[in-house]
Chains A and B, each alone.
Chain A
């Protein structure tokens, strides 16, 4: 496999080959971006679920605290 310096004309004209090479690398980057976008959407969903769960846990903790206070008051009465 003989090598040519960059200045010499390649076997396929650079202009013609360039668009195919660019297309291959763009496809690779596009796939990577699509994957990252899908993972970002998943991450957003997980964040939303965590927020819901945190809210649920807080409201339940508040409810339990209120119930304990009511029990104490009724016991005092």
Chain B
């Protein structure tokens, strides 16, 4: 029963998103350096963090699938990655909008943070053709899980590599030295992060529920078709 608890989770998500956007536009102060354009970060950064964590979560579910052989974990892994790819699209678009406003370019190729996220995104974009190129469901699940584990391990490595690189242009939101976020901005950011994480969780649950319902319908169709075929074979000798 994937749909259990979906309603309270959806309500919590809507409330959290409304609270987050209210804080962004009516509570968080304007950034002295970037001004109003910095408001994009309250959406862009939580989306990026949630997408990257979602990819890792997909990898963890894939490990559980490989260990247990239970196809439920494969479904969890698939839906986690699927949702993170959608969030990744939002990250790339909102990031490009911010880049255009701040740097005057939609995309900058010599910025490690942007390019590394694009690499991760494109890597996960290949997950779908890779998965659906295999027809046998058992093999499909197993190979997709291996992909999810490998790619999931690449995400934190990629993140660390980018943090270690000396970027001069891409802002660091979680700077701990001078220049870190002040209290009101940090509160707004954390509420936004919670809201976006809740949205991811709700959509994952929603997608799993839809997939489960679709699977139940297929099962029902098979169950209804099977006796009908049997009945036809019983009827056929009488007709002849």
Please give the residue numbers on chain A whose beta carbons come within 8 Å of chain B beta carbons, in ascending order. Answer: 1-6, 8, 10-12, 14, 16-18, 20-21, 23-25, 27-28, 31-32, 35, 39, 42-43, 46, 49-50, 53, 56-57, 60
Nearest-neighbor residue (CB-CB) of A60 within chain B:
B228
Knowing A1-B181, A57-B224, say if A28 contacts B31 (CB, 8 Å): no
B217 touches A21 (CB 8 A): no
Known: A25-B43, A28-B90. A39 touches B32 (CB 8 A): no
Alpha-carbon distance A1/B186, docked complex (angstroms) = 13
Do the beta carbons of A11 and B35 come within 8 Å of each other?
A: yes
Nearest A residue to B44 via CB reads A24
Main secondary structure of the interface of A (DSSP, over half): helix
**Chain A residues in 8 Å Cβ range of B227:** 60
Q: How many residues of B contact A (CB 8 A)?
A: 42
With A1-B182, A27-B90, A42-B210 known as contacts, the answer to whether A11 contacts B33 (CB < 8 A) is: yes
A3 touches which one: B29, B98, B203 (CB < 8 A)?
A: B29
Report the minimum CB–CB distance from A24 to chain B (whole Å).
Answer: 4
Q: Please give me the residue from chain A that is nearest to B40 by CB atom.
A: A24
- Evaluate contact between B217 and A49: CB separation under 8 angstroms: yes
Per the bound structure, the CA–CA distance linking A11 and B31 in Å amounts to 8
For residue A13, give the distance in angstroms from its CB to the closest CB of chain B.
8
* Residue from B21, B40, B43, B213 within 8 A of A46 (CB atoms): B213
Are A39 and B101 interface neighbours, CB within 8 A? no
- Chain B positions near chain A (C-beta within 8 angstroms): 21, 29-37, 39-40, 43-44, 47, 86, 89-90, 93-94, 97-98, 100-102, 179-182, 199, 203, 206-207, 210, 213-214, 217, 220-221, 224, 227-228
Q: How far is the CA of A3 from the CA of B89 in the complex (A)?
A: 31
Contact: A11 with B34, CB < 8 Å?
yes
Q: How far is the CA of A25 from the CA of B98 in the complex (A)?
A: 11
Asked if residues B40 and A39 are in contact (CB atoms below 8 Å), the reply is no
Beta-carbon contact of A43 and B210 below 8 Å: yes
Distance between Cα atoms of A50 and B215 in the complex (Å): 12
- With A1-B32, A16-B101, A32-B199 known, 11 other A-B pairs at CB within 8 A are A1-B180, A12-B35, A12-B102, A24-B94, A24-B98, A27-B94, A39-B207, A49-B217, A49-B221, A53-B224, A56-B224
Q: Hey, which chain B residues are within 8 Å of A56, CB to CB? A: 224
CB-contact partner of A31 in B44, B86, B97, under 8 A? B86
B32 contacts A2, C-beta separation under 8 Å: yes
Given contacts A10-B36, A12-B37, contact A1 B221 (CB under 8 A): no
